[in-house]
Structure 1
Amino acid sequence: MIYHAYEMQRSMLASASAWANMSAQFLNNPANPLSYIGGGPALAHALDVFAHASAPRGKPAFGIESVDVDGKPQPVTEDIVLQLPFGQLKRFRHAALPDNAPRLLITAPMSGHFATLLRGTVERMIPRHEVFITDWRDARQVPLAEGSFDLDDYIDYVIAFLEHIGPGAHMLAVCQPSVPCFAAAAVMSGEDHDCRPRTLTMMGGPIDTREAPTSVNQMAMQRPHSWFEQNAITTVPMQYPGGGRRVYPGFLQLAGFMSMNLGNHMLSHWEMFRHLVDGDGESATATKDFYDEYRAVCDMTAEFYLQTVDHVFQRHLLPRGEMMHRGTRIDLGAIHDIGLLAIEGERDDISGIGQTRAALHLTPALDESYKFYDLVENVGHYGIFNGSKWRTKIAPVVEEWILEHNG
């Protein structure tokens, strides 16, 4: 019922957004006297903010057309190189890239947002790398006939993507996929797989959430597993291709994220209104662009979500050496030649300090020269992989680590 109630609300807000948008355009029309006098301009901008906040959103495009390479713009090509039922592998490259450029697989979170949330991450790495990214599908768009998708499948997909890229690739995991990527690296190392990554960079990942638990971790620990199954899981309506599939809907995840910092989000929209009133369209557009991406959400399969809550946040199976893959225990001690880089933000309120660093202590067979830890000052969770700090402080560390272990 919750999904049907959401669909009804979404339809009503879509209509309200359309009316607000038309009203704002009418009040802003230069031929309308109200656009120059009284409260007309302020009302128009208020309607503009409301229209933007209530508008429905689909999957955004990456839209990376060119990047600057040594002071010259280079056109970027975006290709789908492998398609699987629950996700596809995208590749970004430019003509000036040398043949021996490092190949980098960026694993996007399956946590309610589309892979385009990492647009800034991808764009920053394109000039010096052949970049691949896991582009996960919205679970409500995957027919039931395609089967289920859980943590085992996530690990299998990561391995399949690395196999498609070929030997010598590097991998970067942003937040939630740090766990399955770390597990995949261990599985491949145990098999002495030719396509195991040369480096694995984990950024703000919940490897061991017992370290500096945040409000997100505490919420998972305070409620039994049955609570999440009864209150967070719903069924996709039949008008979608995945009708009948049990999912954790993206709109619930978005509501949780928004409520964590509700005051900041309200202030951002107030500032957007002020920028419009002051004629600062560039600042207002920047805020709109951020929320266009932030509010574009997708559903996760119920089995993947519930396993993540149980294995990662409640029972901590990976750091305790008890996590399984296809019936076999995952041995982190098998990792012996993969360079591990753990990056954390000092102000991260999703993954606390020490949760990602724990990976470096869980690989006894790995020499210390293959391990590096970077704690970035005055950076929150989102800033680890996007924004100026990512571009100027964090990305250079990642690039240097990749070059050091590129063979």
Structure 2
Amino acid sequence: MRWLLNIWRTLTKPAKYLTLGSISISAFLMGIIFWGGFNTALEATNTEEFCISCHSMESTPYKELQQTVHFSNHSGVRATCPDCHVPHDYGRKIARKLEASHDVYGWLFNTVNTPEKFEDKRLEMASREWKRFDRDKSAACKNCHQYDSMKWDSMSKLAVKQMKRAAELDQSCVDCHKGIAHKLPEMGTARAPELIAEVGRGVSGVQVGQTYFTALTKPLFFNEKTDVEAGTLNIATKVKVLEVKGNRAKIGIDGWRKKIGAGRVIYYDFGLNILSAQLTKDAALEEGVIKTFEEKEDPMTGLKWQRVEADIWTDTDYLLTDLQPLWDYARSTYSTACSVCHTQPAEAHFDANTWPGMFQGMIAFVNMDQDTQALVQKYLQEHSSTFDKSAH
């Protein structure tokens, strides 16, 4: 430790022979050398060559980029990795570089060094980038694509309508253009990768007697073994687990059905067109699948409804213990996606049976997958004036 103490005494000891000017000039020159070296290192790590020096980056995302218009196009302008993934202004670039320490950890511990590991992490990595693009309204895209430079007369009428509204809001490009440079995450039966990234894939082991909520639209089956589908279980539907065998669970779905035809469709409540499940005709007529209870007539339509419980099988994945994360995601999605064309009405502005028609008229102008559409519609219905009595 003696040499450390000597260095410390030297550094803290007042100068005897150097003038204030020579000290200032020396400090200035050392600052230039340090700053120059720092920026040289910064720019060296801000090139495509550096990005793809990691094998997992070169073998998968870089090859995907090479198949897109961002790599090769008629104008010869190419977007490289740092063009999209590193902010151009200095302060945010430094912050991004610090954030990239997470990538260094992944490289050291080989978290994505095989195609299988990469696919397992693809959703997580993509979701992180989508959120970053959302935070800065896709500033990286707008370094090349400027709203005020677009030729509106060369677009379709629908594109003009959407893009002009996006320009007014300075909307993030990835709201509508995910998957434009890299393959979208594979989610198996899932069609809503962002939704699943937000709410999770469900509990690891479901318990008999417990209630759950479906995180996705899921297939129903006649028993624990067959692959023959017996219908569809709608997203955000409450179910009770009656039996578990392997990766299948027998569930009970409480609701109401219209007493017409085979009565295949199960609704959330009497007189409300809020979908819980749709059975096939064979499943609806199968003995033991549907239990019926009380019967009521809808005064608005004259149709008779039956309170029912459907006991049927489904896979145990994508079952959540809490409904609130789904509603939070639906509220956020409705607030952002559905304000592209106009100010969206409040949830309680319409009743539960009016919302489907109104919502279907909106979704033609937004980029929303089927599961998210179904979730947002159910959220609007279950938070409509039918349930919120404080609304007009």
TM > 0.5: no
Q: Which of the pair has more CA radius of gyration?
A: 2
TM-score calculated relative to the size of structure 1? 0.22
TM-score calculated relative to the size of structure 2? 0.22
Greater relative CO (CA pairs within 8 A, separation 6+): 1
